[in-house]
A and B are shown apart, each in its own frame.
Chain A
Amino acid sequence: MYPETIEKLLLKVQKPGRYVGGEHGEAIKDKRQVDVRFAFCFPDIYEIGMSHLGIKILYSLFNEKPYIWCERVFAPWIDMEEQMRAHDIPLWALESGDPLSDFDFIGFTLQYELSYSNILNMLELGGIPLLSKDRHDLKHIVVAGGPCACNPEPITDFIDIFFLGDGEEVDLEVIELFRACKKEGKSREEFLRLASRIKGVYVPSLYDVTYNDDGTINAVTPRDGAPAVIEKRVMMNMDKSYYPDNFVVPNIEIVHDRAVEEIFRGCIRGCRFCQAGFLYRPVREKSVECISRQTHALCRNTGYDEVSLSSLSSSDYTQVVPMLKELNSWAKPENVSLSLPSLRVDGFSDDILNEIKTVRKSGLTFAPEAGSQRLRDAINKNVFEDELMNTCRVAFEGGYTTVKLYFMIGLPTETMDDVADIANLGKKVLDTFYSTPNRPKGKAPRVTLSASSFVPKPFTPFQWEPQDTMDTLREKQQHIKKSIVDNKISLSKMTYNYHDSDTSYLEAVFARGDRRLNAVMLEAHKKGIRFDGWSDCFSLKNWLEAFEACGIDPAFYANRRRSFDEILPWDHLDYGVTKDFLHRECERAYRSEASPNCREKCLGCGCTKYKGGVCYEKR
């Protein structure tokens, strides 16, 4: 439902379907019959938020409880925001049409640093005081979870509670506590203090941070009995873990408009740049039986005829072929097609291809991440050139003509030669096409090289590394271009895209920032900054002015090499992987040494303490 006041405005904005709700599968309840109202906020537009799996899981989980009504809120696009501000219409939730200020919990998912500015904007549009300290009484509890909660320090002034790790249990425990506190008439402060005792809950206002003269952190000290170290939560039994059997099915097209089944959590690989690979350890799989049952129910209930089998690295699922066969036993007759995203180069077998043939031949995508074997070893991306070429050959024989390769530039230990090898690798793929006898005849191949800038992230072996300066990154981008020209590659066969290094810089600042950045966030918000993830809105210049106004040097966070014994802003958060392990992995990177994956050999990262998953598989 939407507020009556916006009816007249809807046809003045693009895609009004974003703002009206009313989809099949939305949860409608009587607000007088529930104890807790939870506004699940995604700090980006509808089409992106609705594509996100986490929100689907938690939305259904919460709404299964009769005493909770969880609703969805997305960031209004700038055209709608303008109308809302002009007509004094507060941000509303899609199910009831009620303003954010009517809710007990306002929950954000933190998927990317560049969405932080939208969080502040949404709070303001919803009529919620921005600063935690300005919110009183037992209402308007602003909570946040998701990958960026692993270093939430830059937004601790705005958020009351962070959830670390998997949310399925801890979120409910906190909601449950809130309900009890409300019944007993407890204060907001008391509720927060009690919440901080729950494992996986980080209440930042209960910690004091002091700094050294050089700007690094001196100490993080808990108060009021809050734990010194906050441990993430993990769902160890994925078969028993909650999974929705229905989704809210959008009425307008969204980015990923299909059913999604999560087949496992975590990743065995440990690519050294990849935060997800460390945050979600250890790998926990669902059984084939469970996947098939859940997927079937989802397709039946939503009407989707396409399922994406989602995970960080799908071909690493131990039962991938049996799973596809089992799924196809009902999917084929029911005209449901399967897709397996995040396939690794070496996981692209004939067996798999046969089972997912129903997927359109849109082209292949691989992520070698680095151009040279030396650098791939250093970042622990175990992709080998001959494997890549073999896979491309199989694909070309199967009728594919386009290959997209993703790379990163600015990786630790990278040289200009490594950078030039990006173009060389692309050229080799083209050569492979022409040397494949059964290639599609009469068609030209097309290789797209896509390079993004490396952003060092917390809880990775590169958490101490400086990011390349924007000048260096630009130089490297130009070097790839030059290498393509030097290789005399026809530009009709090779496309080169690169992501703007400006956004990567801001991402690097906030990813490893500390509490002093809260002031910058607030300043940026005052300047009207939002939608940083959208190139039509992002302006580094505006951000630099905000840093300047607060007397903070962003390079301190992005471009400084941190010493291994420095106290990092996220050191009091525990995601299972130890600092010692990450340090060892970093040293191996310096020696350009790859590491075995979790299935080959346990490297003792620290996650055995969760007592399950891949750590206890037979090797």
Chain B
Amino acid sequence: MKNVRVFYRKDGACKYISHLDTNRVMLRAIGKSRLNIWRTEGFNQHAYITFALPLSLGFASECESMDFRILDDDEDLSAIPERMNACLPEGIRVFRCAEAVHKPADIESAKYAVQIEPMNENEISFSELSEKWRDFLSLPEIIVQKKTKKGMKDVDVKPYVLAFEMKEGEKAAFDLTLPAGSTLNINPNLLIDAFAQSVGIELYADITRVGIYIKGGEDFA
């Protein structure tokens, strides 16, 4: 038995598959691919798959991963992406399969490529929007309302902005690195919503998760 991790992209129509539904889609793809993977025992048996880091509804990603256990030690892992892709919707493409290196608990941060634009066209120019966003992020503190177990709480998320880089081009686009993982997970929308509120403009954000990292900034593998 081998612990295997597949890496996949999720975009297009598949951005709108929730985490729970992604689980279902993957189970069916595995069933259809006839990969022989470990199943849970007991009354309601099913193929056992786990996900390192759930992805929010509406986000695209270039670095999703899913773990399962291959029963046959001689299984050719390099053939798995193609086998699974034949069974998956277009918007989910497996590009790599390898034995798992890190533990999901090792994950510390994630990088998001974000593009923002006003919901109603022409409300604000892209250059102005970029400008305002830069100003927003250089504020000494950024207080947002965050849902916690004890209800809504004001938190300063400024220290959580681990890295930030504006991108050249016509659109208001930037990369944002935020804490991620099971202990502390910051959704980029938390910042974007706070920004939208501060400028008083309804925004649309196109968000792609482009990297998941462990301690020291090494790629999660």
Chain A residues proximal to chain B, CB less than 8 Å: 1-2, 7-8, 10-11, 16-17, 19-24, 249, 251-253, 257, 299-305, 335, 360
Q: Within 8 Å of chain A (Cβ to Cβ): is B107?
A: no
Q: Within 8 Å of chain A (Cβ to Cβ): is B98?
A: no
* B18, B44, B89 pick with most chain A CB within 10 angstroms: B89
Q: Within 8 Å of chain A (Cβ to Cβ): is B91?
A: yes
With known contacts A17-B21, A251-B17, A335–B39 Cβ distance under 8 A:
yes
* Interface residue ranges of B41-70 to A (CB < 8 Å): 43-46, 57-58
Task: List 21 A-B residue pairs with CB atoms under 8 Å apart, sorted by A's residue number.
Answer: A1-B13, A7-B206, A8-B204, A17-B21, A19-B16, A22-B12, A22-B14, A22-B91, A24-B29, A249-B28, A251-B16, A251-B21, A251-B25, A252-B16, A252-B18, A253-B20, A301-B32, A303-B30, A304-B31, A335-B39, A335-B45
Contact residues in A for B30 (Cβ distance below 8 Å): 303
**Contact B17 A17, beta carbon cutoff 8 Å:** yes
- Give the total of B residues in contact with A, Cβ under 8 Å: 32
Least distance between A217 CB and chain B CB atoms (Å): 49
- Cα separation A19 to B20 with both chains bound (whole Å): 18
- Beyond A17-B16, A303-B87, list 4 extra A-B contacts (CB 8 Å): A21-B13, A22-B12, A305-B28, A360-B44
Least distance between A23 CB and chain B CB atoms (Å): 5
Least distance between A17 CB and chain B CB atoms (Å): 4
**Contact A20 B16, beta carbon cutoff 8 Å:** yes
- Cα separation A335 to B44 with both chains bound (whole Å): 11
**Contact B28 A253, beta carbon cutoff 8 Å:** no
* Interface residue ranges of B161-184 to A (CB < 8 Å): none
- Cα separation A300 to B86 with both chains bound (whole Å): 12
Contact residues in B for A10 (Cβ distance below 8 Å): 16, 58
Least distance between A231 CB and chain B CB atoms (Å): 41
Contact residues in A for B32 (Cβ distance below 8 Å): 300-303
**Contact B89 A303, beta carbon cutoff 8 Å:** no
Least distance between A155 CB and chain B CB atoms (Å): 33
- Cα separation A21 to B90 with both chains bound (whole Å): 10
- Cα separation A253 to B24 with both chains bound (whole Å): 8
Contact residues in A for B39 (Cβ distance below 8 Å): 335
9 A-B pairs closest in CB distance: A22-B13, A303-B32, A303-B28, A20-B13, A303-B31, A16-B16, A17-B16, A8-B204, A24-B89
Residue on B nearest A304 in the bound complex, by CB: B28
Residue on A nearest B91 in the bound complex, by CB: A22
Contact residues in B for A335 (Cβ distance below 8 Å): 39, 45
- Cα separation A530 to B206 with both chains bound (whole Å): 33
Residue on B nearest A303 in the bound complex, by CB: B32
Contact residues in B for A302 (Cβ distance below 8 Å): 28, 32
With known contacts A10-B58, A22-B89, A252–B17 Cβ distance under 8 A:
yes
Contact residues in A for B18 (Cβ distance below 8 Å): 17, 252
Residue on B nearest A11 in the bound complex, by CB: B58
Contact residues in B for A23 (Cβ distance below 8 Å): 13, 89
Contact residues in A for B77 (Cβ distance below 8 Å): none
What per-residue 1/0 map shows which CB atoms of B6-40 lie under 8 Å from chain A?
A: 00000011101110110011011111110000010
**Contact B12 A11, beta carbon cutoff 8 Å:** no
**Contact A305 B13, beta carbon cutoff 8 Å:** no
Least distance between B28 CB and chain A CB atoms (Å): 4
Q: Within 8 Å of chain A (Cβ to Cβ): is B88?
A: yes
Least distance between A301 CB and chain B CB atoms (Å): 7
With known contacts A17-B18, A251-B21, A2–B13 Cβ distance under 8 A:
yes
Residue on B nearest A299 in the bound complex, by CB: B31
- Cα separation A305 to B91 with both chains bound (whole Å): 22
Residue on B nearest A21 in the bound complex, by CB: B13
- Cα separation A7 to B121 with both chains bound (whole Å): 14
Contact pick for A305, options B16, B21, B31, B87, CB 8 Å: B31
- Cα separation A10 to B204 with both chains bound (whole Å): 10
Contact residues in B for A300 (Cβ distance below 8 Å): 32
**Contact A251 B13, beta carbon cutoff 8 Å:** yes
- Cα separation A19 to B16 with both chains bound (whole Å): 9
Q: Within 8 Å of chain A (Cβ to Cβ): is B119?
A: yes
Contact residues in A for B57 (Cβ distance below 8 Å): 11, 16
- Cα separation A8 to B28 with both chains bound (whole Å): 30
- Cα separation A8 to B13 with both chains bound (whole Å): 13
- Cα separation A20 to B87 with both chains bound (whole Å): 19
**Contact B21 A24, beta carbon cutoff 8 Å:** no
Residue on A nearest B59 in the bound complex, by CB: A11
- Cα separation A10 to B28 with both chains bound (whole Å): 25
Least distance between B221 CB and chain A CB atoms (Å): 27
- Cα separation A20 to B30 with both chains bound (whole Å): 23
Contact residues in B for A2 (Cβ distance below 8 Å): 13
Contact residues in A for B31 (Cβ distance below 8 Å): 299, 303-305
- Cα separation A300 to B44 with both chains bound (whole Å): 20
